[in-house]
Amino acid sequence: MREQLEQIKASALREIGACGSLKALDALRVNYLGKKGQLTAILKQMGKLSAEERPAMGQLANDVRKELEEALAARQEALRETELAARLEEERLDVTMPGRAKKTGGLHPLSLVTNDLIDIFQSMGFDVVDGPEVETDHYLFEALNLPKDHPARAMQDTFYLGENLLLRSQTSSAQIRVMEQRKPPIRMVCPGRVFRADEVDATHSPVFHQMEGLVVDKGVTMCDLKGCLEQFVHEIYGPETQVRFRPSFFPFTEPSVEVDITCSECGGKGCRICKGTGWIEILGAGMVHPNVLRGCGIDPEVYSGFAFGVGLDRLAITRSKISDIRLLFENDLRFLEQFN
Amino acid sequence: MKVSLNWLKRYVDIKVPVEELCDRMTMSGFEVEEVEDLSATMENVKVGRILKLEKHPDADKLLVCQLDVGEEEPVQIITGAQNVFEGALVPCALHNSRLPNGAHIKKGKLRGLPSNGMLCSGEELCLKEADYPGAEVYGILILKEEYAPGTDMREVLHLNDVLIDFSVLSNRPDCNSVIGLAREVAVVLGEELRLPKPAYKTCGGDVNEHIAIAVEDYDLCPRYMGRVVKNLRIGPSPDWMKDCLRGAGMRPINNIVDITNFVMLETGHPMHAFNLNDIAGRQIIVRRAREGEKMTTLDGKDHALTPEMLVIADAEKPSCLAGIMGGLESEITENTTDLFLECAKFRRDNVRRTARTLGMRTESSARFEKGVDTIGVEYAMERALQLISELDAGDIVEGVIDRNNGLPAGRVLTVSAARINELLGVDVPYDEMVRILNALEVETTLDGGTLTCAIPYFRDDIESRADLAEEVMRIYGYGHITGTPMRGEVIRGKKLPARVHGDEVKALLAAHGMRETATYSFISAKAVDQLALAQDDPRRRVVPLLNPLSEEYAVMRSQLASSMLTVLATNISRKNPAGRFFELDKVFVPRALPVVEQPEEVPALCIGVYGAEEDFFTLKGVIEALLARCGAEGEFVRSGEPYLHPGRQAKVLLPGCEEPAAVFGEVHPAAAARFGIQERVYLAEVKPAALYACMEKRRALYRPLPKFPASTRDLAVIAGRELPIAEMEKAIRAADSSIIERVELFDVYQGSQIPADKKSVAYSIVLRAPDRTLTDAECDEAMRKILHSLEKIHVKLRQ
């Protein structure tokens, strides 16, 4: 019997060691250790042994059983690992194949620019307001210090809807509406659509967009204006960009300035984009004209303020190097999909 | 304002390079638009005297010239022109020369003989008869005057000059003049300004014996000044004056006309010269034109005049459009002997309106429109007479007629220097302020921190402390302004609720694959017809533009659908296979027509989709997602929008709202075709206000997660073919059972397996109780109740 056990053990260990699959291994387990297995069959013969032999044989049989079980378990673990490795190998993908996803949409480049500006100014405490696109002569001209015979009125070709009703040609009208409704301190921006009777070409559109900014408080200076605009310019064009004031004229600000920034293309060295000057004009600004403040019931002897107006279309165009303003209004999907 | 550097130098020393002058002028408020160096147009073209002329031995039509070009040895040049002769002075383009037409001339050989350059025609030097007499003659330009051989042709042609085009801001009409610009140049360069001091001799007499002047409408003509010059000696102007005029883009004509133009450019005051003998009754009447009056202007055009227009008339008829253009009949010609000279101020808006109405724009009208000052009229007149005297162009009659209704008094401003610095945020030294203002001819004194400033008559724009601050700063230099970070109380910037909600709607639509569009706010008046809107549809009430760019952009839009259909059509025609778009913008709803007050500007949302994977339900899915995001529960009901497919459209009704929050569906093929679209496209018009209202009320409230498992039962039923799915779902929900958690439609079948008037519908029903695991018996009971409820609308279990 001992010999039989040793034999079973030897052959079982050999077969387990050679076994190549979990299924075959299971068959081996049944064959040796199952109810009708070889080891079980041997154990059934224990009754025939003498009482002296029995404990030793029993011990031996249990040792064999234990050894075989351990061998089976070890083999099983090894085979599992191999099979997993084989499966993982089998499942190897070409990871360079394209992904699958629902196409997402996106906002119009003008909205993207507008939102960026809103974020910057809102974080500096500016309220974001809205104003009517159809304006009265009062808000668009009179209250902005452009009396009836002012030559600056002729500078902008305005669309008329009625004698006293026009499509706003600048968002500056929003300044008046805000100053009439609130008292200082005021910090607001008003993004929106504006209209001018320009013939359409690569750089002109009868519909375009601006954002007006206004700050009124005690002791607001031109240095505050520059500091505020520098914040905005650094966010949009990078912290190394410089800001320059150049004298200009707007009826509703005094002093008035054009605001230039160092050309983002050449860094101020001079190139084709900036016509060799190193500077690019990005917006008009100034200190709110005392007549404008007074007209809105704000005493210019007590309060001062600054205002600025940014062309959003131009910002979008320069930022993304868009070659033609008309692209913004054609809405060709292949154009829109370039902005995320 | 384009001005030649040489002209500026008549009044101010310019010792810095042109680039520096331009930079400094730009930074003080006079942006330089363009710089044109006339001398750069040609190079190495010199005057040559033809010493000897011989026929070319090997060519009949070529001549071999030996020329003295101021060098030690004569130069040989071969020419084909036949108008040359020995002794003639001609322009020679020598070896390595450049011509204004871009040609580069080098030495070479012509039929075997060396030619060291080229003799030039007037055309090759880009000259017209007005530039140099004989310039348009066929052949080589033969120079008229005597020049030393070797003289640079640029000197001969007065090309050693630079033209600078300054952009003059509209608050500085005084700088639409050379003197005005010279004054600025003098200030920025720290040089002295030298102005001409008019002086002349008269021939005696009395102007009143020659002419009478009456101004009827002082409101349109605050000042009118007249002088008389007799015995005109009309002839060409001197070269220096011609050069100035040409540089400014004006054509020299004769001494009298040139003087009026020169003085206009120099002082900014337009002048007009009348033939005194053509003035009927020797009377000048400044008045509004009478209804029905006509006149012919110098350019030969006839004009019908109206009483809104100011004219200079004689005893009989208008002879000049005030401030715009003279009449043909009183024109100065070579035969004119006596002159009436006008210098005046006309009101700018009146000149502008008349010029626009008549479609005219002249150097004179442009200046009056921008504004000329009243006082300077006198200086301009004196200056013109000085030039007439200097050029000996006529005999000046003693006396002036000056009609005005009171000249403006000088303005004196008293301001605190400290307040100027307060506005700027910069400490400009007070004495520097005084220096700058005085240099600008604002006579300023400082007394204990107070500036007293006498504003010069030509600076009508300086009215307040802010204006003085600007004058100080633009000269002191904006570079001194250093940015300071935002100061003051920390305040939170707020957005309007409509913007917050709108941004959220946009983000949701973008997440559903939609691209935002931007289209014009004005559209064609025909758009409402393209949409086949009913005659009484409120969207037909649109606000028209009084001056639209074209019919295509004639009215303010009352809906976004037509704009969206245009976007879809554009994309389809450009072969983009599929697209999802939205636009969120304002539409314009008039309160009354014709409009007298501002129309309502109502936010509107339009969605448009097309492509192989789109249908009614993909669009509906987006609408549902939108409603869900806004916390709105809407009912979908068949609708009757005329531009949508009658069987494939629905409106969304929100509880408590009569107006639908949205209408959407497949676009009617006929309507699509009117926009040039042949394929199926889908469109939704949404009223954002209704959604925003829901968003305001929306609040996320936690519901406990289920603790017990759900049971799912499938249910297949047979229903009437026309029975809406929504009715069946309502019936299921109406079943007398509290454990129905979810009802999910998973199949609808119509076909051969079932009767033609029926459809088979399959649901997956999820049952759950919050406090226990359901038993089979409970589930069976719930399903029985559902069937019972369905049977009331004749829906039966499918066997």
- CA gap B786, B764 in Å, rounded: 12
DSSP-assigned letters across all residues of A190-244: EEEEEE--PPPSSS--SEEEEEEEEEEETT--HHHHHHHHHHHHHHHH-TT--EE
- Residues in chain B, total: 799
CB of A104 within 8 Å of any CB in chain B?
yes
Question: Which residue in the set A127, A195, A243 is minimally distant from B494, CB to CB?
Answer: A127
**B722-751 average pLDDT score:** 92
3-state SS, B716-765, equals EEEEECCCCHHHHHHHHHCCCCCCEEEEEEEEEECCCCCCCCEEEEEEEE
Per CB-CB distance under 8 Å, the chain A contacts of B494 are 122, 127-128
pLDDT of residue B158: 87
ipTM for this model: 0.87
Q: What is the DSSP letter of A130?
A: -
Instruction: Determine, for residues B474 and A331 on separate chains, whether the beta-carbon distance falls below 8 Å.
Output: no
Per CB-CB distance under 8 Å, the chain B contacts of A128 are 493-496, 499
Give burial (CB, 10 Å; 0-12/13-18/19+) of A32.
buried
Other beta carbons within 10 angstroms of residue B683's beta carbon come to 28
Supply the mean pLDDT for chain A. Answer: 90
pLDDT of residue B796: 92
Question: Which residue in the set A104, A290, A337 is minimally distant from B511, CB to CB?
Answer: A104
Residue of A nearest to B594 (CA): A162
Per CB-CB distance under 8 Å, the chain B contacts of A193 are 521, 586
Supply the mean pLDDT for chain B. Answer: 94
Instruction: Determine, for residues B470 and A256 on separate chains, whether the beta-carbon distance falls below 8 Å.
Output: yes
- CA gap B179, B185 in Å, rounded: 10
The answer to whether the beta carbons of residues B648 and B663 sit under 8 Å apart is no
3-state SS, B433-484, equals HHHHHHHCCCEEEEECCEEEEEECCCCCCCCCHHHHHHHHHHHHCHHHCCCC
Instruction: Determine, for residues A223 and B479 on separate chains, whether the beta-carbon distance falls below 8 Å.
Output: no
- CA gap B176, B264 in Å, rounded: 9
**A81-87 average pLDDT score:** 91
* Beta strands at A186-195 and A127-128: parallel, antiparallel or unpaired: parallel
pLDDT of residue A6: 86
- CA gap B395, B417 in Å, rounded: 52
CB of A326 within 8 Å of any CB in chain B?
no
Other beta carbons within 10 angstroms of residue B548's beta carbon come to 18
**A132-143 average pLDDT score:** 92
What pLDDT band is residue A151 in, cutting at 50, 70 and 90? low
* Beta strands at A165-167 and B339-345: parallel, antiparallel or unpaired: unpaired
What pLDDT band is residue B320 in, cutting at 50, 70 and 90? very high
Question: Which residue in the set A103, A132, A167 is minimally distant from B513, CB to CB?
Answer: A103
Instruction: Determine, for residues A108 and B347 on separate chains, whether the beta-carbon distance falls below 8 Å.
Output: no
Closest CA to B369 of B176, B210, B627: B176
Per CB-CB distance under 8 Å, the chain A contacts of B586 are 133, 193
**B108-124 average pLDDT score:** 90
Q: How far is B170 from chain A (nearest CA, A)?
A: 6
Other beta carbons within 10 angstroms of residue A326's beta carbon come to 14
Instruction: Determine, for residues A151 and B28 on separate chains, whether the beta-carbon distance falls below 8 Å.
Output: no
Say what angle helices A2-18 and A22-33 make with each other, to 10 degrees: 170
What pLDDT band is residue A198 in, cutting at 50, 70 and 90? confident
Helices (H), B534-668: 561-573, 616-630
Pick B402 or A267 by higher pLDDT. Answer: B402
Instruction: Determine, for residues A289 and B466 on separate chains, whether the beta-carbon distance falls below 8 Å.
Output: yes
The answer to whether the beta carbons of residues A107 and B583 sit under 8 Å apart is no
Question: Which residue in the set A125, A197, A223 is minimally distant from B482, CB to CB?
Answer: A223
The amino acid at A271? C
Provide the CA B3 distance to its chain's centre, in angstroms: 24
Question: Which residue in the set B478, B516, B594 is minimally distant from A108, CB to CB?
Answer: B516
Cα distances (Å, whole numbers) of residue B725 to B662, B785, B796: 20, 19, 14
What tens digit of pLDDT does each residue of B420-440 get? 999 999 999 999 999 999 999
CB of A249 within 8 Å of any CB in chain B?
yes
CB of A95 within 8 Å of any CB in chain B?
no
Q: What is the DSSP letter of A268?
A: T
pLDDT beyond 90 at A33: no
Max distance between CA atoms of chain B, in angstroms, equals: 131
Per CB-CB distance under 8 Å, the chain A contacts of B581 are 331, 333
Phi, psi of B23 (to 5 degrees): -60, -45
pLDDT of residue A156: 59
The answer to whether the beta carbons of residues B278 and B336 sit under 8 Å apart is no
**A319-328 average pLDDT score:** 92
- CA gap B485, A125 in Å, rounded: 12
What pLDDT band is residue B389 in, cutting at 50, 70 and 90? very high
What tens digit of pLDDT does each residue of B82-110 get? 898 999 999 999 999 999 888 899 999 88
DSSP-assigned letters across all residues of B209-225: GT-EEEES-TTT-SEEE
Radius of gyration over every alpha carbon of chain B, rounded to an integer in angstroms: 42
Closest CA to B502 of B604, B408, B593: B604
What pLDDT band is residue A152 in, cutting at 50, 70 and 90? low
Per CB-CB distance under 8 Å, the chain A contacts of B493 are 121-128, 187
The answer to whether the beta carbons of residues B510 and B504 sit under 8 Å apart is no
What tens digit of pLDDT does each residue of A87-100 get? 999 999 999 999 98
Outline where DSSP puts E strands in chain A.
Answer: 127-128, 134-136, 160-162, 165-167, 186-195, 207-217, 243-250, 253-262, 279-288, 304-311
Instruction: Determine, for residues B469 and A217 on separate chains, whether the beta-carbon distance falls below 8 Å.
Output: no
Cα distances (Å, whole numbers) of residue B424 to A254, B127, B785: 11, 52, 82
Q: Output the six-digit token pair for A156.
A: 């902008």
Angle (nearest 5°) at CA B168 between B324 and A196: 80
Q: Output the six-digit token pair for B210.
A: 């020659």
> What residues have CB less than 8 Å from B780, skipping those under 6 apart?
none
pLDDT of residue A59: 86
H or E element in which residue B579 lies: strand B579-589
- CA gap B792, B581 in Å, rounded: 43
Q: Output the six-digit token pair for B246.
A: 């040409």
* Beta strands at B401-404 and B339-345: parallel, antiparallel or unpaired: unpaired
The answer to whether the beta carbons of residues B689 and B603 sit under 8 Å apart is yes
Q: How far is A96 from chain B (nearest CA, A)?
A: 24
Per CB-CB distance under 8 Å, the chain B contacts of A187 are 491, 493
The amino acid at B328? L
- Residues in chain A, total: 340
pLDDT of residue B266: 97
Closest CA to B415 of B430, B403, B427, B404: B430
**A275-280 average pLDDT score:** 86
**B366-378 average pLDDT score:** 93
pLDDT of residue B489: 83
Cα distances (Å, whole numbers) of residue B790 to B42, B719, B799: 98, 9, 15
CB of A125 within 8 Å of any CB in chain B?
yes
Which conformational region is residue B703 in: left (phi greater than 0), alpha (psi within -120 to 50 degrees), or beta?
beta
Q: How far is A315 from chain B (nearest CA, A)?
A: 16
- CA gap B584, B564 in Å, rounded: 11
Other beta carbons within 10 angstroms of residue A200's beta carbon come to 16
pLDDT of residue A155: 54
- CA gap B626, A35 in Å, rounded: 66
The answer to whether the beta carbons of residues A222 and B423 sit under 8 Å apart is yes
Instruction: Determine, for residues B470 and A328 on separate chains, whether the beta-carbon distance falls below 8 Å.
Output: no
Per CB-CB distance under 8 Å, the chain B contacts of A102 are 513
Q: What is the DSSP letter of A129?
A: -
Radius of gyration over every alpha carbon of chain A, rounded to an integer in angstroms: 42
Instruction: Determine, for residues A128 and B499 on separate chains, whether the beta-carbon distance falls below 8 Å.
Output: yes
- CA gap B759, A175 in Å, rounded: 63
What tens digit of pLDDT does each residue of B510-530 get? 999 999 999 999 999 999 999
Per CB-CB distance under 8 Å, the chain A contacts of B511 are 104-105
CB contacts under 8 A, A 44-63 vs B, are: none
pLDDT of residue B82: 86
Instruction: Determine, for residues B599 and A134 on separate chains, whether the beta-carbon distance falls below 8 Å.
Output: yes
> What residues have CB less than 8 Å from A42, skipping those under 6 apart?
A1, A4, A5, A8, A61
A7-11, B303-307, B408-412: least confident range: A7-11
pLDDT of residue B59: 86
Q: Is A125 helix (H, G, I), strand (E, B) or coil?
A: coil
Q: How far is A267 from chain B (nearest CA, A)?
A: 19
Q: Is B490 helix (H, G, I), strand (E, B) or coil?
A: coil
**A231-253 average pLDDT score:** 93
Percent over 70 (pLDDT), chain B: 100
pLDDT beyond 80 at B615: yes
pLDDT of residue A154: 61
What pLDDT band is residue B500 in, cutting at 50, 70 and 90? very high
Select, from the ranges A38-52, A144-158, B641-655, the one with the highest average predicted confidence (pLDDT): B641-655
What pLDDT band is residue A42 in, cutting at 50, 70 and 90? confident
Question: Which residue in the set B28, B547, B594 is minimally distant from A159, CB to CB?
Answer: B547
Cα distances (Å, whole numbers) of residue A205 to A112, A169, A208, B368, B763: 19, 12, 6, 30, 55
* Beta strands at B450-455 and B515-516: parallel, antiparallel or unpaired: unpaired
**B560-576 average pLDDT score:** 97
What pLDDT band is residue A21 in, cutting at 50, 70 and 90? confident
